[in-house]
Amino acid sequence: MNTKMLGWATVIYLVAMAFYLIRLLRDDEYWGKLATGTALAGLALHTAGIAVRWWESYRLGIGHAPLANFYESMIFFSWAIMLLYLVMEWRIRNRFLGPFVMPVAFLSMAYASLSPDEATRIQPLIPALQSNWLTSHVLTCFMGYGAFTIAFGLGVLFFARRFVAGTGNPSKGRGGFSPDEGSIEDLIYHSTIMGFIFLSLGIITGSVWANFAWGSYWSWDPKETWSLVTWLIYAALLHARLVRGWRGKRIAIMAIAGFVSVLFTYLGVNYLDSLHSYLM
């Protein structure tokens, strides 16, 4: 049942993505409102699907949060992106970021839906995962990843706005590209702060969990190493802006580069000999 709900949420996200794109191209708030309403409906169904999966886990006597394997992590990654994006849209009262964030959330859900049946089944945790630290570690990491996705979308928007301005389009500076570069940069900065805090908590809870599971707080496993690399990239972004006074293009580039590191931390290490490969 939960997989069907999540599958329909994926379809709804695709429709919402189309509406956001139409709003961007036509500069018509009717399509923007339709996009937001559709995205909210998708998030509601998405949340219900996760809740049902959690309930089914307890009904089967397994009883763990749906955060324990690759399929579940992809589902939660998309959920975190959508939640943080819609909160941001509500706070700034603008929909300009939708076309640059929605594709990541949709692709994450779509990729998860391609998982084989065995991967989507609710299964007992292996001994190393049987810890209360599992939920706190995965939740904080993926909320951080979600915030970094927002910063990435803003970085792409920064360059898209410059491209549109460079074409001499008479509608430049309006519609989906209405925010100025300074506003976009500020949002990148605040999104990065949020992601940095969550990722820091994720690394700390992961270290405690690692000591519980393997008897060591840090073992330079590929996942741990690349989490540290990602943390350092975003720490450098915050340092560059606050101390070095970096602005504009360089901050947008760092936000995009950081997200590339996030993707490798999340997906790339699965192809390495990592203790975390079975999880994410």
Q: For position 252, what pLDDT does the model report?
A: 96
Is 98 exposed, middle or buried (CB count within 10 Å of its CB: 0-12, 13-18, 19+)? buried
In a domain, 234, yes or no: yes
pLDDT band at 100 (very low <50, low <70, confident <90, very high): very high
Whether residue 256 sits in one domain with residue 278: yes
DSSP category for residue 114 = T
Q: What is the percent of the chain with per-residue pLDDT over 90, rounded to a whole number? A: 60
Q: Are the CB atoms for 233 and 254 separated by under 8 Å?
A: yes
Query: Does residue 177 fall inside a structural domain?
Result: yes
Please report which confidence band the pLDDT of residue 173 belongs to, taking 50, 70 and 90 as the band edges: very low
Q: Is residue 138 located within the same domain as residue 207?
A: yes
Whether residues 48 and 148 share a domain: the answer is no
Domain assignment of residue 59, yes or no: yes
CA distance 144 to 76: 12
DSSP 234-256: HHHHHHHHHTS---THHHHHHHH
Residues 170 and 40 in one domain: no
Residue ending a domain, choose from 87, 112, 137: 112
Report yes or no on 71 lying in a domain. yes
pLDDT tens-digit series, residues 122-154: 887 777 677 778 889 999 999 999 999 999 999
Same domain, 71 and 162: no
**Whether residues 181 and 252 fall in one domain:** yes
> Predicted confidence band at 116 (pLDDT cuts at 50, 70, 90)?
confident
- The answer to whether residue 119 is domain-embedded is no
For 62-96, write each residue's pLDDT tens digit.
778 888 888 999 999 999 999 999 999 999 999 99
pLDDT value at 171 more than 90: no
- Domain end position, chosen among 82, 112, 142: 112
Do 171 and 220 lie in a common domain? yes
Q: Is residue 185 assigned to a domain? A: yes
Q: Specify the pLDDT at position 170.
A: 45
Dihedral sign, Cα of residue 107, residue 109, residue 110, residue 112: positive
151 assigned to some structural domain: yes
Residue 265 — very low, low, confident or very high, per pLDDT cuts 50/70/90?
Answer: very high
Residues 27 and 93 in one domain: yes
Regarding whether 135 and 12 lie in a shared domain, the answer is: no
- The model's pTM is 0.91
| Structural domain of 4 | 1-112
Q: Is residue 120 part of a domain?
A: no
Please tell me the total count of domains within the chain: 2
Of the pLDDT bands very low, low, confident and very high (cuts 50, 70, 90), residue 34 is very high
Radius of gyration of the chain (CA): 19
Indicate whether 269 pLDDT > 90. no
Region 167-185: mean pLDDT is 67
Q: Percentage of residues in the chain with pLDDT exceeding 70?
A: 89
89 and 162 share one domain: no
Question: Which of 86, 112, 138 delimits the end of a domain?
Answer: 112
277 and 179 part of one domain: yes
Q: Are residues 157 and 240 in the same domain?
A: yes
In the chain, what's the furthest Cα-to-Cα distance? 62
8 Å CB contact between 176 and 23:
yes
